[in-house]
Structure 1
Amino acid sequence: MCKNFEQIKKANIMINSLCVFTQLKNDCVIKKYKDLLECLSKNEISVGEGVSLYNDFVYELLNKSMNTSLKKYIMDKVFLDSNPFTCIIDHNDLANKNVIDQVGYELKVLQYICNIETDTFKQVILDKTRVMNYEEDIVKNLIELEDNFNNCDPEKAIDRLKIKIIMSEDWGECLNDIIDFYVQYGTGEFGEYRAFVWEHEDNDTYLRGVQSPDPVRLKDLVGYEDQKETIIDNTLQFLSGHPANNLLLYGSRGTGKSSTVKAIINEYYHKGLRLIEVDKERLVDFTKIIRVLKDKNLKFIIFVDDLVFEEGEASYSALKTILEGGVENRSSNILIYATTNRRHLVKETFSERENDDVHAQDAIEEKLSLADRFGITVSFYSPDQKEYLKIIDGIVDARGLEVDKEYLHAEALKWVRWHNARSPRTAKQFINWLEGNIK
C-alpha cells in the first residue's frame, strides 16, 4: 500500500513541476487525471469518490483519443504543443541549454506520470476505504489502461518516433531524436500534418490540420509529363532556397491540376514542404497567414483551387497585392499555387467592352493582366484520343488489372461518349467502374 500511495503522491506533485510543457496541465484529460491523483493522495477517501474520478478520467481519455493509452495521448499532446522549446527550434537557437535540459527532465516527468498501472489505482482505492464485497467487485472491474498503438502509422516518421519514445525505458534519452525530427519536419502541428485548411469560424481564423490528406503520388498521375516537370522543377528550386515562381495551373476540369499540387506535397513532405489550402474568399486573410508561417523553418505552398473572380470581389484586390509582393506580404518561405478553368481569372462581359469610359480599355486590360502576375502558367489541356487511351493503360497497369486491351479501349471510348469528356478524371472514373465489374 505504502509504495502505491507514494507513487501516486509523487506523480501528483510532478505534474505541477512541468514548466516547458505547462500547457499540458490545462488539457481536459490531464485535468481529470490530476483530479484523480489529488483525490488518491489524501489520507481518507470514499469508494464512490475514487471510482467516480477514475471513470471520469478514463471517459475523457476515450472521448478524446478513442483508446485507453495515456502514454499515446500524452505523446500526441507533446508533439502538438507550442512552447519555448519549439520556439528555439523554429529560430534555430539550439544554444539555449537551460531550456533543452529542462525538456529532457520533463520528458522523464511525463513518463513517470503515465507509468502508473491500473492495478495501482485499484489497490489504493481498496486500501484507503472500507469496502463492502460488492464495492470491491466494482473497483476490480474498472476499465484497464493500456499501451495501444492502433492509431499509429509506421509509414509516418512522427508515428515511428512516438512509438520509439513510448517503448523507451527513459524518455529523456530520446530528446536528440525529437530535436532531429523537429529540424527536418517542423514543430507542433507542422510536424504532425502535411496539409492544412485555413478556417474562418465565429470571427476566429486558424489553421486546421488535415488528418487524412489525399494520398495521391506523382507516379499515380499518368500523362502531362511536361507540365509535371515544370511544377517539380519550380518546387525543387523553392525547397533549395533559390528564387521560385508562383504558379497558375490552367486547364479543363478533370485534367489533374489539383491532384498534381497534392502529389507534390506528398512527394516532398520529408523535405519540409507543407500545403495550406485557402478558399478564394479568404485571400483577404493573407497577412494573418503570413504572420503564422513566416518564422517557421519550413516551406509552404498556399493552394487556391478553382480561382475565378466576380466583378468587385475584395479577394481580387487581395490577390493582386499578394502577387505584387507588398512589404508585409513578402516571405521567402511561401509560394502560391492556384488552379483555374478560366485563363484570365476575372469574368468579362460584353457590356464592359461597350462602356463609353475613356479609359475603359485600360480597365479591361487591368483585369486580364492578373493571371500574368503569376510567374509561370502551366496549361493542362484535354487529352486527344491517343493520350486518353495512354492514360487508361497507365491506370490499368498501376492497379494490376488484367483485361484485353482491345476491349479496354473500346469500353473506354464508349464511357467518354456516355459520360464526361476525355480527361484523367474521366479515365479514373471509368477504371473504377471496370475494376468493380471485374472483381
Structure 2
Amino acid sequence: MTENCIKLENLLIYRNLLSDSIVKGLQSLGTHGDACNQYAIGARLIEWAEANQMAGNIPENYLLCLLGCDENVFSSIAGKDGTKAESSLAKAVAHDIVILKRLLKAGLARQFGDEVTAIIEDYLPTNGIQGNRQAEFHNLALLRDLFLDISENHTPEAVVTALSQYYNRYGCGRLAGYGAFKWDSERRELVGIEHTDPVQLGDIVGYEYQKTELVRNTEAFMCGKPANNVLLVGARGTGKSSSVKAVVNRYFDQGLRIIEISKADFKQIPEIMTVLRQWGKKFILFIDDLSFEEYEAEYKILKSLIDGGVEVRPDNVLIYATSNRRNLIKETWDDREGNELHRQDTVNEKISLADRFGVTLFYTLPNQEEYFKIVEEIARKNSIGLTSAELRSEALRWEMSHSGRSGRIAKQFIDYLGGNIAN
C-alpha cells in the first residue's frame, strides 16, 4: 500500500470517505497505478462534473464536496451547536485534517495518465457554470483555502475551527448545498429542491413597507430575538410568494432555509417539527396559497401548531403563509344568519386561524400609476428599448386583454415584448 492509502485507512471521523466508490477508485490508482482503471474512474468524475456543473480540478472538487457534505459526529454537532477547539472531538478531527491535507496536496489528478489529467485537471462543463451553482463554488473555495493552503497558514487546529464554523453556517448531509426543501410524505423525510427561484427583494417592485416588515421580522428571528409567524394576504400575482423566497435567499448564508409544505402534509406536521428541532439551522415553514373550505378540518392542526398546542413550536422554526383570503377559512352567509344557537362562535372559529399569525402583511393590487412604474422598472432591468410613452400604451392594451393589473401581469407583458424584440 502507498502512504496515502494507509493514511486514509487511519481516518477517525471522516471514515464515510472510505465507502465512496470513486474515492476507492482513486485509492486503487495510488496503490496499483492501474492504467485501465484510470479511464473508468475518469469517466465517473466527468459524469459527476457534468451532472453538477462543476469546473476546475474535478478530483479535488469531488473530494472537497464530500468533505463539505459529510454527515458525521463532528459535522452534526458543529452544525447545531458549534464545537469547542479544545475538545477531544476537535483533536480527533485535527488528526484527520493532517491526512486529508496531505492527500489533497499530493495532487489527485496527477495519479492519472497525462491524457486523462489534461482533461480533468481543468474541466469546463458543457453548459458552463450556471447562476444557481455560484454559491456552491463559493463554498468550495472556502474549503480549498483550508485544505490546499500552500503557505501553511492554516494549522490543523485552525482548520477544525473554520470547519466547525462552516458546518454551523451551511449545514451537512441533506442540508448542505440546499436552500429549499419539501416534505416527502411517503418516505417521511426532507428532500432538497435542486433548482430554486433566485428572486431577490430588489426584483419585487413596490410594496416597500411589506418587504421592510418581512426583513425586520426575519432578522429578529435570525438573531434569536422574539419574532412572529407571518401571513401575507392579497390578490394573486402581487409578489407574496416571491417576497418569502427572496427573504430566504437573502439570509441563506446566515443559515436560513425554507421548507414548502402543502395541506396534504398537515397531518405530518408534528413529524416535520421533530426533524427540524434536531437541526441547528433556522427554518421558514412556507405554506403557499393557504385557504380552507368549511368542511376541511386540517386548519385545526395548524392552529394548534401556531399557538395553543401542548407541544410548542421549535425555536428554530417560523411559519410564513400566503393567501388570497384574509380569514383563510371560507365563510358563508349561513354562518352569520344560520340557525345555530351560538352562531357567533362559528364566526370566531373561522377567523381564529388568521388571528394566530402575529404579523399580517397586505399586498393590494397596484393602481394605474403604480402598475406603469412596475412595467417600466421590469423593462429597464430587461433592457427593453421602448420609450416610457410606448411602454405605457402597450402595457394598457395588455392589461385590458388580461386579468387586470399586478406584478405578475407586468412581468408577463415584458416577457412578451422581449420575445417579440428578440425575433
Q: TM-score range by the shorter chain?
A: 0.7 to 0.9
Encode CA deviations 1:22-61: one digit per residue, 9 max, x unaligned: 22223343344456666x29xxxxxxxx455444433433
| 1:26 paired to 2:19 | yes
State the match for 1:258 in structure 2.
241
- Structure 1's 316 and 156: CA in aligned 2 closer, same or farther, altered over 3 A? farther
Give the unaligned 5+ runs of structure 2: none
Q: 2:42 aligns with which of 58, 66, 72?
A: 58
| 1:146 paired to 2:121 | yes
State the match for 1:83 in structure 2.
72
Q: Which moved more, 1:188-197 or 1:256-265?
A: 188-197
Q: Which moved more, 1:338-347 or 1:289-298?
A: 289-298
Shift of 1:374: 1.1
Instruction: Among all aligned residue pairs of Structure 1 and Structure 2, give the percentage whose two residues are the same amino acid.
Output: 36
Confirm or deny: 8 A CA contact 1:323 1:373 kept in the other structure: yes
Q: Which moved more, 1:8-17 or 1:374-383?
A: 8-17
Shift of 1:118: 5.7
Shift of 1:295: 4.0
State the match for 1:318 in structure 2.
301
Shift of 1:12: 2.7
State the match for 1:300 in structure 2.
283
Counterparts of 1:298 and 1:147 in 2: how far apart (Å)? 34
Q: 1:422 aligns with which of 399, 405, 414?
A: 405
Encode CA deviations 1:210-235: one digit per residue, 9 max, x unaligned: 33321111111111122222212222
Q: Which moved more, 1:252-261 or 1:279-288?
A: 279-288
Q: 2:378 aligns with which of 374, 379, 395?
A: 395
Shift of 1:276: 1.6
Counterparts of 1:121 and 1:436 in 2: how far apart (Å)? 47
- Structure 1's 119 and 270: CA in aligned 2 closer, same or farther, altered over 3 A? closer
Confirm or deny: 8 A CA contact 2:59 2:109 kept in the other structure: no
Counterparts of 1:93 and 1:382 in 2: how far apart (Å)? 49
| 1:161 paired to 2:142 | yes
Counterparts of 2:341 and 2:45 in 1: how far apart (Å)? 68
Q: 2:88 aligns with which of 90, 98, 102?
A: 98
Shift of 1:176: 3.6
Encode CA deviations 1:162-216: one digit per residue, 9 max, x unaligned: 343464346846444323333444444445232222223xx31222233332111
State the match for 2:231 in structure 1.
248
State the match for 1:196 in structure 2.
181
* Counterpart AA for 1:192: G
State the match for 1:432 in structure 2.
415
State the match for 1:135 in structure 2.
none
- Structure 1's 422 and 407: CA in aligned 2 closer, same or farther, altered over 3 A? same
- Structure 1's 71 and 346: CA in aligned 2 closer, same or farther, altered over 3 A? same
Confirm or deny: 8 A CA contact 2:64 2:140 kept in the other structure: no
Counterparts of 1:285 and 1:377 in 2: how far apart (Å)? 25
For the aligned residue pairs, the C-alpha RMSD in angstroms reads: 3.1
State the match for 2:167 in structure 1.
182
Confirm or deny: 8 A CA contact 2:261 2:285 kept in the other structure: yes
* Counterpart AA for 1:62: I
Confirm or deny: 8 A CA contact 1:324 1:373 kept in the other structure: yes
State the match for 1:44 in structure 2.
none
Counterparts of 2:36 and 2:340 in 1: how far apart (Å)? 77
Counterparts of 1:174 and 1:96 in 2: how far apart (Å)? 13
Confirm or deny: 8 A CA contact 2:366 2:406 kept in the other structure: yes
Counterparts of 2:70 and 2:310 in 1: how far apart (Å)? 30
Counterparts of 1:391 and 1:61 in 2: how far apart (Å)? 46
Encode CA deviations 1:116-172: one digit per residue, 9 max, x unaligned: 5566456xxxxxxxxxxxxxxxxx866764254765627964233134346434684
SS at match of 1:382: coil
Q: Which moved more, 1:422-431 or 1:147-156?
A: 147-156
Shift of 1:111: 4.1
Counterparts of 1:402 and 1:121 in 2: how far apart (Å)? 53
Confirm or deny: 8 A CA contact 2:328 2:351 kept in the other structure: yes
Q: 2:218 aligns with which of 227, 235, 243?
A: 235
TM-score, normalisation: structure 2: 0.83
Size of the aligned set, in residue pairs, is 404
Confirm or deny: 8 A CA contact 1:36 1:57 kept in the other structure: no
* Counterpart AA for 2:65: D
Confirm or deny: 8 A CA contact 2:26 2:108 kept in the other structure: no
Confirm or deny: 8 A CA contact 1:383 1:423 kept in the other structure: yes
Give the unaligned 5+ runs of structure 1: 1-7, 42-49, 123-139
Shift of 1:421: 1.6
TM-score, normalisation: structure 1: 0.81
| 1:69 paired to 2:58 | yes
Within 5 Å, give how 1:371-382 maps onto structure 2.
371-382=354-365
SS at match of 2:184: strand
Counterparts of 1:437 and 1:390 in 2: how far apart (Å)? 21
- Structure 1's 92 and 406: CA in aligned 2 closer, same or farther, altered over 3 A? same
Confirm or deny: 8 A CA contact 1:71 1:111 kept in the other structure: no
Confirm or deny: 8 A CA contact 1:301 1:335 kept in the other structure: yes
State the match for 1:132 in structure 2.
none
